[in-house]
Amino acid sequence: MSSVATQQLETGAKGFVKDWESDKQTFHVPWGKAMMWIFLLSDTFIFSCFLVGYMNVRMSTRVEWPPVSEIFSLSMGGAPIPLLLIAIMTFVLITSSGTMAMAVNMGYRRDRAKTAALMFITAAFGAIFVGMQAFEWSKLIIEEGIRPWGNDFGAPQFGSFFFMITGFHGIHVSIGVIYLAVVALKVLRGDYEKKGYEIVEITGLYWHFVDLVWVFIFAFFYLW
């Protein structure tokens, strides 16, 4: 039996004050990681509300839903290829998850150069994704004439849900790119040599969450 389990606790108000002052911990999880998990949990509720609202409207609307594969097609050689751009965006984001996982691994090995390099690569993938999303938005707004309040393809709610959900996710990716770049610079500078590279794992938690959310957006919005 551990010494913690057999430790005698003082009773009464004096014992309570003493325990409070000694900064006791039930679960030995660093505050940074715990706070990131709490933030991601709250963000999960927000994205869930968006997607559930979208599915509710999608199933209840009496107006035909716009043909997603046609709207999001990309022409190559004169022939439209359905969801080509979305497939490339998904591949880029999933690949960035792999480089982020490698960065965390290198961080725990205390390999400063490789950790920073992999984080910069991950940030570059994120920036490419945001750039492609900006291209996608411009194509829909300018070429297809889709607006948040209506479109010529079907249900008017299509545009509002698309711009709200993908825009909110795009903001998260953009913040993640900045976050990755800042942490990578600090890693390269050697700021975490003494206190360890746990910050890399915390950054990775955020980035993997962003990637996971995109998988759900891809499945529910583009494939349904």
The listed CATH number (2.60.40.420, 2.60.200.20, 3.30.565.10, 1.20.120.80) that belongs to domain 31-222: 1.20.120.80
Residue 31 predicted with pLDDT over 90: no
pLDDT, tens only, 211-222: 999 999 999 999
The dihedral built from the CA positions of residue 105, 111, 114 and 118, taken in this order, carries a sign that is: positive
Residue 4 predicted with pLDDT over 80: no
Distance of alpha carbon 18 from alpha carbon 10, whole angstroms = 8
Q: What is the pTM of this model?
A: 0.87
Distance of alpha carbon 123 from alpha carbon 158, whole angstroms = 30
Q: Which residue has the higher pLDDT, 3 or 40?
A: 40
Beta carbons of 49 and 41 less than 8 angstroms apart: no
Contacts of 122 (CB under 8 A, 6+ apart): 96, 99, 100, 103, 180, 207
| 190-202: burial string, b at 16+ Cβ within 10 Å, e else | eebeeeebebbbb
The type of residue at 61 is T
5-9, 34-38, 108-112, 144-148, range with the lowest pLDDT:
5-9
Dihedral pair phi/psi, residue 24, rounded to 5°: -70, 150
**Helix/strand number for the chain, H first, E second:** 8, 2
pLDDT, tens only, 55-110: 999 999 999 999 999 899 998 888 899 999 999 999 999 999 999 999 999 999 99
pLDDT, tens only, 187-211: 999 999 988 899 999 999 999 999 9
Average pLDDT, the chain: 91
20-24, 28-32, 209-213, range with the lowest pLDDT:
20-24
Instruction: At 159, list the tokens.
Output: 């545009």
Count the neighbouring beta carbons within 10 Å of the beta carbon of residue 189.
11
pLDDT, tens only, 132-188: 999 999 999 999 999 999 999 999 999 999 999 999 999 999 999 999 999 999 999
The burial class, CB within 10 Å (0-12 / 13-18 / 19+), for 65 is middle
Count the neighbouring beta carbons within 10 Å of the beta carbon of residue 138.
10
